[in-house]
Amino acid sequence: MSDLVPVVSDKLMTEVAALIVEALNLEMQAHEVMADEPLYGDGLGLDSIDMLEISLVISKRYGFQLRSDNENNDQIYSSLRALSRYIASQRTK
């Protein structure tokens, strides 16, 4: 990532973690989602269907489209921090 990466507030990461937990009905609390743990596969153990659900919720909440054909999806969804950073850079709401 470049030096122009937006700073991600703890508030935004907590908000995104809560959206993930709620959207997927996970049996955990938002504060249990670790900022740098992988979301997909190992870590939180989410699969492609989970990622689609997250994309829909984020698109609705933050006013921009997360596309399945984005070549940076592996990086965007690599962790809660990475996803929150991407949201901070793209959000319209």
Mean predicted confidence (pLDDT) in 51-62: 94
- pTM comes to 0.88
Residue pLDDT, tens place only, 2-15: 445 566 789 999 99
Query: How far is Cα 19 from Cα 38, in angstroms, rounded to an integer?
Result: 16
Instruction: Using alpha carbons, select from 3, 7, 2, 4 the residue that is nearest to residue 87.
Output: 7
Instruction: Using alpha carbons, select from 93, 63, 50, 61 the residue that is nearest to residue 77.
Output: 50
Mean predicted confidence (pLDDT) in 63-90: 92
Task: Judge whether 62 lies within some domain.
Answer: yes
Residue identified by tokens 């921009």 is 64
Structural domain containing residue 83: 10-90
Say whether pLDDT at 36 is over 90.
yes
Task: Judge whether 75 lies within some domain.
Answer: yes
Average pLDDT, the chain: 89
What residues have CB less than 8 Å from 65, skipping those under 6 apart? 59
pLDDT band per the 50, 70, 90 thresholds, residue 24? very high
State the total domains in the chain: 1
